[in-house]
Each structure stands twice: as structure tokens, then as C-alpha cells.
Structure 1
Amino acid sequence: MEIAVYITLFALVLLYPAIDGRMRRLDRRAARIERKVDLVIDHLGITVPQPGVEEVVRLLRENKKVEAIKVYRKLTDADLVEAKEAVDRMERLENPGR
């Protein structure tokens, strides 16, 4: 029984780089597709309502950017970088001169 566990662990260790590489490629591909969809939506002038975004905009207006990023992350399950970029875009829309 112990030998089967060791063989399984060894196989997992050998397969991890291949699985990790595949997941990274899929993540990059999904990000490219998402950017393209965003460009199409922008080009068509479509606004996609996101529930709770009003709270993020309110926090931006109160100069509470960190809290706005936290709320955005909670609403969208975005990672920190994605949330910061999204909040930065919202801030530029709210304050075009900045």
C-alpha cells in the first residue's frame, strides 16, 4: 500500500510542470479573449451594468481608493492587479483631467 502512495506522489511531482504550464497558457488565453470582448463592447458603445459598482464610484468620489479596490475585489472576485486597474479606469472616467 505504501509503495502505491509513493508512486502516486512521484507521478504527481512529474506531472505538475506540465499541468502548471497548461493552466498558465489557458489563463493567458482567457485574458486575451476578455480584452478582445472588452474592445468589442467599447466599440459598440455598450455599457454592461455591474451590480454594486455604485459603491466603488462613491468611494472614489470620497478619495478612498484603497477601500474602492477592496469593494471591487469583493464584488468581482478579481485579483489585486485586476481590481486596481479597473478602479483606475473608473477613476479616469470620473475625473477625465487626471
Structure 2
Amino acid sequence: MNTLYVLLALLAAAGWITSTVTLRMRALQDRADRLERRLGLVLDHLGIEEPEPAGLDAVRALMREGRTVSAIKAYREITGAGLAEAKKAVESLDLKV
């Protein structure tokens, strides 16, 4: 019976720790998002454009060939972007360059 109480206490502690860490991570992500937004405003105000990552010519070539999935994969490898971010970026690429 004591073992059962110990297990329940351990499960409760694990649940509490997990929820605390999750809340902290969410707060940190919100803070990072706010800082990124502010940095974007400062860069816009100063007229500074973010340089294009090296290797996008290969991504553009894949897009011209109609190989969108391969282009997204290549973009993710080059930039380290997530799937949604890479898809949005690849779809918005200027293929004339």
C-alpha cells in the first residue's frame, strides 16, 4: 500500500514538473516572438534588409522545375527553418533572380 502512495506521489510530481516546464517554455517563446517582432521594426526603421541565405539559387532552380517539395527540403537544409516557415518562404521566392 505504501508503494502505491509513493508511485502516486511520483506521478503527481512528474505532472507538476511537466506542466511547469511547459508553461515556462511557452512564456519564453512568447518573449522571443515579441523580441523578433521588435527587431523587425528596428531593421525596417533603419532600412536594413536581411541578407538572402546562400544557396537559394538551387532552391529557385528546383521551383522552376516544378519540384516544390524538394525545394522546401533544400530550403530547410540551408536555413534550418521549420516546415511551415520553409513552405511559405519557398512559395514567395522570386523565381526571376
Matched, 1:77 2:77: no
Aligned equivalent of 2:39, options 21, 37, 40: 37
In the other structure, the counterpart of 2:3 is: none
Identity in percent: 39
How big is the alpha-carbon RMSD for the aligned residues of Structure 1 and Structure 2? 2.8
| Residue segments in structure 1 that go unaligned for 5+ positions in a row | 1-5
| Residue segments in structure 2 that go unaligned for 5+ positions in a row | 1-6
1:59–1:48 CA distance, 2 compared to 1 (3 A): same
Q: TM-score, normalised by structure 2?
A: 0.67
CA deviation map 1:46-73 (0-9, x unaligned): 2413122221111112221111111111
Larger radius of gyration: 2
1:30–1:68 CA distance, 2 compared to 1 (3 A): same
Q: Distance in 2 between matches of 1:52 and 1:59?
A: 12
Matched, 1:25 2:6: no
